[in-house]
């Protein structure tokens, strides 16, 4: 069992290759993956259920004592990223559908991959987990609100529909997973091995579907989407770190906050965009899945070799 657990955890850490494989498969075999659009939301809900199942009781208890740094990180998450996404969409003169997708991406909570990157960067993993959990629980309220406020100039935003979609995809499944773990002690190989691996594979499959749906537009829209994604990720990482330091955080906490702010729940962004705004809007989330899983580990590698000075 120990060997199997190590194998499952190794496969989890191969997140980037899985996502790259998904993107390549979607581009090479669009007819195979495009029909899967209707399954994106249900399968992402399953991913969020796995996230809830993976939350330990002590991590849940830590929410009551999260402190100022977790609060600061969540505030920066929901200020820096939506506003940066709006500014980038305007600066690049994105098409309305793609602009909405970028703003929606910026308005989403932090992604669970940030917890792994925080560990690799020798940052504060407990703080990262708390920030991810809090931002995820706030997503049904803040993600639709920011999208409605900032993206309404490009398209009609059904804030109520976005709210209910986020509740069904995020809040409901996460709470269900937390409750199940409270009353049933899932075996470690499932809660920390197979479930996170399944979540990784689902995200890779979502990327394949979104790329397949945009196959004919990749040569034109793909360039603009890549520019927006690269700039948004850079803005989140840089501003997250700089603002955290300016507000008194030490280097370790600032690194943690930067990682959390700069790494979005891109799977959620793709699912909500595909459901409410179309395949092109979802392209931003799909490409972000690729990009932040390159820059995050790269930044972690750089930071892990630097001393943890205050």
Cα–Cα distance measured from residue 176 to residue 101, given in angstroms and rounded to the nearest whole number: 28
Give the least confident one: 53-62, 194-203, 236-245. Answer: 53-62
Mean pLDDT across 224-242: 94
pLDDT at 85 (0 to 100): 96
Burial letters for 55-94: b for 16+ Cβ neighbours within 10 Å, e otherwise? Answer: beeeebebeeebeebbebbbebbbebbbbbbbebbeebeb
Options 3.40.50.10490, 1.20.1260.10, 3.30.70.260, 1.20.1530.20; which CATH number does 67-154+204-304 get?
Answer: 1.20.1530.20
Residues 6+ apart with CB under 8 A from 85: 102, 103, 105, 106, 107, 150, 228, 232
Instruction: Give me the helix-helix angle, 67-91 and 221-246, nearest 10°.
Output: 150
Cα–Cα distance measured from residue 93 to residue 276, given in angstroms and rounded to the nearest whole number: 21
pLDDT surpasses 70 at 5: no
**Which range scores top for mean pLDDT: 11-15, 125-129, 213-217?**
125-129
Q: Which residue has the higher pLDDT, 307 or 39?
A: 39
**Model confidence at 205, in pLDDT bands (50, 70, 90)?**
confident
Strand partners, 110: 264
Cα–Cα distance measured from residue 305 to residue 244, given in angstroms and rounded to the nearest whole number: 21
Give the number of other CB atoms < 10 A from CB of residue 308. Answer: 13
Cα–Cα distance measured from residue 282 to residue 39, given in angstroms and rounded to the nearest whole number: 14
Instruction: Give me the helix-helix angle, 279-304 and 15-28, nearest 10°.
Output: 150
CA distances from 55 to 5, 132, 144, 150, 192 (A): 18, 11, 25, 32, 9
Mean pLDDT across 20-26: 85
Mean pLDDT across 225-251: 94
Mean pLDDT across 301-306: 76
pLDDT at 11 (0 to 100): 59
Instruction: State whether residue 214 is helix, strand or coil.
Output: coil
pTM: 0.82
Give the least confident one: 35-49, 83-97, 232-246. Answer: 35-49
The residues spanned by each domain of the chain are 67-154+204-304
pLDDT at 62 (0 to 100): 64
pLDDT at 142 (0 to 100): 94
Mean pLDDT across 84-99: 94
DSSP 251: H
pLDDT surpasses 70 at 59: no
pLDDT at 7 (0 to 100): 62
Instruction: State whether residue 110 is helix, strand or coil.
Output: strand
pLDDT at 82 (0 to 100): 96
**Model confidence at 234, in pLDDT bands (50, 70, 90)?**
very high
**Which range scores top for mean pLDDT: 22-31, 58-67, 190-199?**
22-31
Cα–Cα distance measured from residue 63 to residue 48, given in angstroms and rounded to the nearest whole number: 18
pLDDT at 6 (0 to 100): 64
Q: Which residue has the tokens 């995809």?
A: 169
- 25-51: per-residue pLDDT in tens? 888 888 888 888 888 788 878 877 877
Closest CA to 157 of 95, 221, 103: 103
- 112-130: per-residue pLDDT in tens? 778 778 877 778 877 888 8
pLDDT at 310 (0 to 100): 53
Which burial class, exposed, middle or buried, applies to 198 when counting CB atoms under 10 A from its CB (0-12, 13-18, 19+)?
A: middle
pLDDT surpasses 90 at 209: no
**Model confidence at 231, in pLDDT bands (50, 70, 90)?**
very high
Structure tokens at 71: 């609060």
Residues 6+ apart with CB under 8 A from 72: 244, 247, 249, 257
- 244-299: per-residue pLDDT in tens? 999 998 898 999 999 999 988 888 888 898 888 888 888 888 888 878 878 887 88
Instruction: State whether residue 264 is helix, strand or coil.
Output: strand
């Amino acid at each position: 069992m120990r060997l199997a657990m190590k194998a499952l955890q190794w496969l989890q850490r191969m997140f980037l290759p899985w996502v790259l494989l998904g993107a390549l498969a979607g581009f090479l075999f669009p007819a195979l993956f495009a029909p899967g659009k209707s399954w994106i939301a249900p399968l992402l809900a399953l991913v969020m259920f796995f996230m809830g199942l993976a939350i330990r009781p002590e991590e849940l208890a830590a929410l009551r004592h999260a402190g100022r740094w977790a609060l600061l990180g969540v505030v920066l998450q929901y200020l820096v990223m939506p506003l940066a996404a709006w500014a980038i969409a305007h600066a690049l003169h994105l098409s309305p559908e793609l602009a909405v997708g970028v703003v929606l991406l910026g308005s989403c909570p932090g992604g669970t991959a940030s917890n792994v990157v925080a560990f690799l960067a020798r940052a504060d993993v407990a703080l990262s987990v708390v920030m991810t959990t809090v931002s995820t629980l706030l997503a049904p309220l803040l993600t639709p609100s920011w999208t409605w406020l900032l993206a309404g100039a490009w398209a009609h935003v059904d804030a109520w529909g976005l709210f209910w979609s986020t509740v069904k995809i995020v809040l409901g499944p996460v709470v269900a997973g937390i409750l199940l773990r409270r009353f049933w002690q899932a075996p470690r190989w499932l809660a920390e091995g197979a479930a996170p691996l399944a979540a990784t594979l689902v995200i890779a499959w979502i990327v394949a579907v979104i790329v397949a749906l945009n196959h004919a537009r990749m040569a034109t829209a793909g360039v603009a989407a890549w520019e927006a994604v690269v700039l948004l990720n850079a803005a989140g990482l840089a501003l997250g770190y700089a603002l955290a330091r300016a507000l008194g955080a030490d280097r370790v906490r600032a690194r943690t906050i930067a990682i959390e702010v700069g790494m979005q729940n891109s799977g959620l962004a793709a699912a909500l965009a595909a459901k409410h705004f179309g395949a092109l809007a979802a392209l931003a989330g799909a490409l972000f899945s690729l990009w932040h899983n390159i820059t995050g580990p790269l930044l972690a590698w750089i930071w892990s070799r630097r001393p943890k000075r205050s």
